[in-house]
Chain A
Amino acid sequence: MIEIEQLTKRFGLFTAVDGISFDVEPGQVLGFLGPNGAGKSTTMKMITGFLAPTSGQVRVCGHKVEGDARDAKRVMGYLPEGAPSYGEMTVAQFLSFIADVRLLKGAERKQRTDSVIEQLNLQAVINQPVETLSKGFKRRVGMAQAILHDPQVLIMDEPTDGLDPNQKHEVRELIKGMAQDKIVIISTHILEEVDAVCSRAIIIARGRIVADETPQSLLARSPSGKLDDVFREITCAEVRS
């Protein structure tokens, strides 16, 4: 379970995230929506412990992200925006480095590594340096890294951004396959994605939560039956007010 209380982040005078609170239960796939610059990435960076909040706190599976950082980070897998990884390493070397850090050993290590390589179809490029791979493969390497230790909580910042339709489909299938007893949070601005994989959608604009409901009830708000219209209406209304 993730508990977020009054999370706020200011950069100088600019408030990127403004007193956000919500909980996420196991089994939920939470879609984080919002216009660019709304504070989606900043919120994710605070949940994963990369940025320290200005105020407020995050607990992940009972561990405070600030204070009990190591335990909190152990239960999380994180795909940062753009899926960075060490370019000069081969896929096998990179996954082995992550397995070292994640304290995977012996049979479990081999089983997990083989399993993510198969899940993400990385067999063909396993001995290639990451920097020589296509965007789609790089993204998959980033996802492999995030799920290698079979984390309780999976957080992905725009996991399908820049992928072709087939690759998007594969990523969504993977997320659906993970979900039963785990917590998954993805950020996106592709609305059909929320409808396809998420069981809950939070829309944020200018650092605040403006909607928190199921994708179905969001859809029901729109006379045209299109998520795009609901999104525009909610986020634009917030900016005008």
Chain B
Amino acid sequence: MSYEIIGISVLWIFLYGYLIVASVDFGAGFYAWYAKASKKDHIINQLISRYLSPVWEITNVFFVFFFVGIVGFFPDTAYYYGSALLVPGSIALVLLAIRGSFYAFENYGSKQSNVYMFLYGATGLLIPASLAVALTLSEGGFVIEEGNSVSLQYLELFTSPLSWSIVALALVSVLFISATFLTFYASRANDRPALKLVRSYALFWSTPTIIAALTAFIFLSQHNERHFENMMDLWWMLGLSVAFFMAAMWFLHSEKYYGLAFIFVMLQFFFAFFAYGIGHYPYILDPYITIQDGSTHESMGLALVIAFIGGLVLLIPSLILVFKLFLFDADYVKGKK
């Protein structure tokens, strides 16, 4: 396999990782606020903060990893996306900054504040919406190069049904993934009242998730036929995605195997996300950047792959340690430590 294929695969896997951990984080922030607003915070907020406190910084690093990695493996992305995304990227950054720091002020500071809580919840939905724009742009037609300047066609972007359907999909996915995770976490903590509440959230958001996915798919077929056809060739992946979704729903309905239900939801998104990604090949930005032409020098590609393997050797044991201490240590989850 050539290093640019390794590179894009690694990046896509990490983006998938970010999709999951960030969805859990963003959704949890929203639920924490929603529970407070609807006076149910005594039921779930303890649970949410026990999970989130140790991991929010790790979630952020996934994001940094992705954008540093993509610019590293494919420097042309810095030029095209960098030029085009100045405004949406800056807005996303401001939202991320508000969210991360306000989380710290709220949790490590001494006083609870409703304003922080609200901003924390609201940004949890706005950030995925603004990050989803990058995916829309990659479909082509929104970023235009004329002479020496690259610009973003705002009007087309904001009037495109595709871009709105992707935003909608991002929002409902966040709420759905997060709720299934919290259901699992609450069941581990043996916290009945919380379990009941978050399970109802998970069930509620399942149908909109599927509808939004279908809508986005239809609009994609109108916007970028090549991509759509490629995805149809990967029908078996899409089929698996739907099958895992059904199985997860079955577990949630019959109130058992919550752990497995969450894993199935992860697999549901895994197959859909990879069918989308593989169908996108060979373009990173249609039609300007392809994986082959946009890639970095071979020596750098090799160095990055080696650094990546070295990094994993360091990280995987550390992540296992975190999971052992905070996710699978029953006493910690239950709040006894």
* Bind each other: no
Q: Which residues does A use to contact B, with CB under 8 Å? A: none
